[in-house]
Amino acid sequence: MEPLPEDGERDWAEPGVYTVSPGIHRIPLPLPQDALRAVNVYVVTDGTRLVLVDSGWALESARERLSRGLKALGADLGDIDEFLITHVHRDHYTLAVELRREFGGKLGLGKLEEPSLTRSGDPDRFPMEAQVGLLERCGAGPVVEELARAFGGVRHTEAHLWEQPDEWLTSGKRAIVPGREFDVVHTPGHTAGHVVFVDDEAGLVFSGDHVLPHITPSIGFQPVPAELPLRDYLDSLRLVRGMPDRRMLPAHGPVTDSVHARVDALLEHHRDRLEVMGAEITADVTTAYEVALRLGWTRRQRKLGEMDPFNQMLAVLETGSHLDLLVAQGKLTATETDGVRHYAS
């Protein structure tokens, strides 16, 4: 395997090593039965030091592909000096934990991911426990039942994949390899502690899941939910929009020339979604679940019941986050009855 130029002509998820910029290479790693198809891991090196931005899911297939990619760059898994992780989701964090245990290397993660990371490794908790509570508040009993059939009854058994990092990252500059530094920028919304990494000199932003080229990131899917995750997300988009435009290196999808163009599209999408969801609230449609049932989802405008339980959950929670923001903006009101939140215009 030889490194190839990042020319945009290939399928972004095609296995290989792609040189994005001098000293920066992209290695797409596989995901299991996931519509996201792959996760991009970025190798930053000057030949004396090697840093990974995100690490992949702790799967043998991902580990093998990462190993092959590093070998193409004249390195191996034991040469990784540091892992810088954009957020604590499994497909970004867990392979770093596994490799650190085996080979060493430092691991850095955004400071505000600490509550969710701690909850993820708690053996007394069930997966998606917090999301079930939010779904019940959304009036989405049928989705809770679907999730229970798909995932219920299994406690966390992988606490070893959710170990604490060596460093909690906060906003500011940090040296990466000799002659290169990144700005760490806190961008909450997708998760509470999400960060992006900005390379000013090279004109690059490692956007993680904050800004993706072809899909809208899920909002607030984390074990410890935020109060208004959509508000946080939109504020973080505006923060990135207020910076100089840069080439975007996302976690899922191809490298893209302008982060500003995609941020503008995402802001417009959520403005439209807020308007559409708010307009659905009537005397007969009062819960987030009822609104979600009336909308189309994904680029193919699929109905809620046509999706798998996990994506139904994300859709209902996204609806709830939009309606809650409309309440915070004074455009809707909300009351709770028997644990279910009802909205009114």
Sketch the domain layout of the chain as residue ranges. Answer: 4-121+158-259, 126-157+281-345
Find out whether 338 and 328 touch, Cβ atoms under 8 Å: no
**Which of 215, 175, 11, 210 lies closest to 82, judged by CA?**
175
**Which of 216, 206, 217, 210 lies closest to 249, judged by CA?**
206
Q: Is the pLDDT of residue 200 over 70?
A: yes
Q: What is the band of 187 on the pLDDT scale with cuts at 50, 70, 90?
A: very high
**Averaging pLDDT over each range in 1-10, 90-99, 150-159, which range is the top one?**
90-99
Q: Is the pLDDT of residue 8 over 80?
A: no
Owner of token pair 């040189």? 19
Q: Would you state the CATH architecture of domain 4-121+158-259?
A: 4-Layer Sandwich (3.60)
Residue 156: what pLDDT?
52
Give the tokens for residue 21.
């910029």
Q: What is the mean pLDDT of residues 315-327?
A: 98
Output the CA angle 158-162-66, nearest 5 degrees: 90
Q: What is the mean pLDDT of residues 2-22?
A: 91
Mean confidence (pLDDT) of the chain = 94
Number of Cβ within a 10 Å radius of residue 181:
13
Q: Is the pLDDT of residue 64 over 90?
A: yes
- Measured over the CA atoms of residue 17, residue 19, residue 23 and residue 29, the dihedral's sign is negative
Q: What is the band of 275 on the pLDDT scale with cuts at 50, 70, 90?
A: very high
Instruction: Give the residue, 9 or 24, on which the prediction is more confident.
Output: 24
Burial class from Cβ neighbours inside 10 Å (0-12, 13-18, 19+) for residue 325 reads buried
Find out whether 23 and 177 touch, Cβ atoms under 8 Å: yes
CA-based end-to-end distance of the chain: 59
> What does the pLDDT look like over 112-128, one tens digit per residue?
999 999 998 887 777 78
Residue 153: what pLDDT?
55
**Residues of the chain with pLDDT > 90: what percent?**
85
Residue 56: what pLDDT?
98
Give the tokens for residue 118.
């701690």
Report yes or no on whether pTM surpasses 0.75.
yes
Q: What is the band of 277 on the pLDDT scale with cuts at 50, 70, 90?
A: very high
Residue 147: what pLDDT?
84
**Which of 77, 120, 82 lies closest to 99, judged by CA?**
77
